[in-house]
Amino acid sequence: MPSFDQIRAALPLALAETNLPLPGKRAGKVRDAYPLDGERVLFVTTDRLSAFDRILAAVPFKGQVLNQLAAWWFEQTRDIIPNHALAVPDPNALVARAAQPFRVEVIVRGFITGVTTTALWYRYALGEREIYGHHFPEGLRKNQALPSPIVTPTTKGDAGAHDERLTSAQVVSAGYLDAKAWDTVQSAALELFARGQKIARQTGLILVDTKYEFGRAPDGTILLIDEMHTPDSSRFWQADTYAARFEQGDEPENFDKEFVRLAYAKQNYRGDGEPPTMPDDLWLQTAERYITIYEMLTGKTFAPGAYPVEPRLVKNFTAWLKDQSKIEI
């Protein structure tokens, strides 16, 4: 783990955007994608942190953590379903197989929690007992474990649009996926989640819920794409304090982006209008949390890449390309 001073020194250099000498950049909220050829895409995971559907800050080392953690998980789960990862030419970069993303986000939940309008606890607290096509009994409490994990699909909203809740039946009837593909996706998602929970548990963490994206490669294969089991796409709780806190009605200790949302909520900001300016310390602590999650899950020591990122990345990617052409000749 880099020291707090090392993280502080990187703060003004955090990677907010990239402008690589490659055509066709497409910037998502967190990743910049550069098409390489019809079959491959270069994804650069930046340090951008998004919450409340906006970019709030650039957090040092966040991009590297997400990229390396997702790449690590892709390796741990390759036997369950093929994924898009081909190579990691730089700590912040992934060369991936290009896919046609399915227009649904596949969320798997092991617990009833959350405060946003698509969250299970939010709907349950409103009195709903049929949620995403699943039935929920009376008497559940916030942050309680579900009898077994469930899949709760949502539409993948275009920029600005909100994600809509779907049932499994609707995924197929509305034509997002055919029945066979949805079956493949749903079982893969549950298996990936079970693997994730098992590995997280061994490292002292609970994988609470997560979002997967899948797509179709040009040859028709269904691929797991985007990222997996990162603190951006998942909730993680500290395992050893969970039960006692749950009994007392206290919120679990969390290691994910909820930390940032709570800091904003303390300033009475919940997403409407201009967000307040937050002290640098919030972003430095966020960096520490992301790095901690990486180290706990992988059991590796985080090796901070040099800042500024972009010149380093160009160098590493160029070297990787050269190496590739050697292999192909």
Ligand X SMILES: Nc1ncnc2c1ncn2[C@@H]1O[C@H](COP(=O)(O)OP(=O)(O)OP(=O)(O)O)[C@@H](O)[C@H]1O
- Where on the chain is the footprint of ligand X (CB under 6 A)? 28-31, 33, 41, 84, 96-99, 101, 156, 159, 213, 215, 225-226
15 alpha carbon, distance to own chain's centre = 18
Tell me whether residue 33 or residue 239 sits nearer to ligand X (CB atom). 33
Nearest approach, Cβ of residue 104 and ligand X (Å): 11
The residue at minimum Cβ distance from ligand X is: 28
Tell me whether residue 27 or residue 306 sits nearer to ligand X (CB atom). 27
**Which of these, 262, 267, 290, 292, lies nearest to 277 by C-alpha position?**
267
Structure tokens at 43: 């994804």
The 3-class SS string of 25-93 reads CEECCCEEEEEEECCEEEEEECCEEEECCEEEEECCCHHHHHHHHHHHHHHHHCCCCCECEEEEEECCE
The torsion angles phi and psi of 69, rounded to 5 degrees, stand at: -70, -45
Nearest approach, Cβ of residue 96 and ligand X (Å): 4
At position 239, the amino acid (one-letter code) is A
Nearest approach, Cβ of residue 245 and ligand X (Å): 31
Nearest approach, Cβ of residue 51 and ligand X (Å): 12
- Distance of alpha carbon 50 from alpha carbon 59, whole angstroms: 10
Tell me whether residue 213 or residue 258 sits nearer to ligand X (CB atom). 213
Tell me whether residue 213 or residue 256 sits nearer to ligand X (CB atom). 213
CB neighbour burial string for 15-45, b if at least 16 within 10 angstroms, e if fewer: beebeeeeeeeeeeebbbbbebeeeebbbbb
Nearest approach, Cβ of residue 208 and ligand X (Å): 19
Nearest approach, Cβ of residue 50 and ligand X (Å): 7
Tell me whether residue 97 or residue 289 sits nearer to ligand X (CB atom). 97
Tell me whether residue 29 or residue 142 sits nearer to ligand X (CB atom). 29
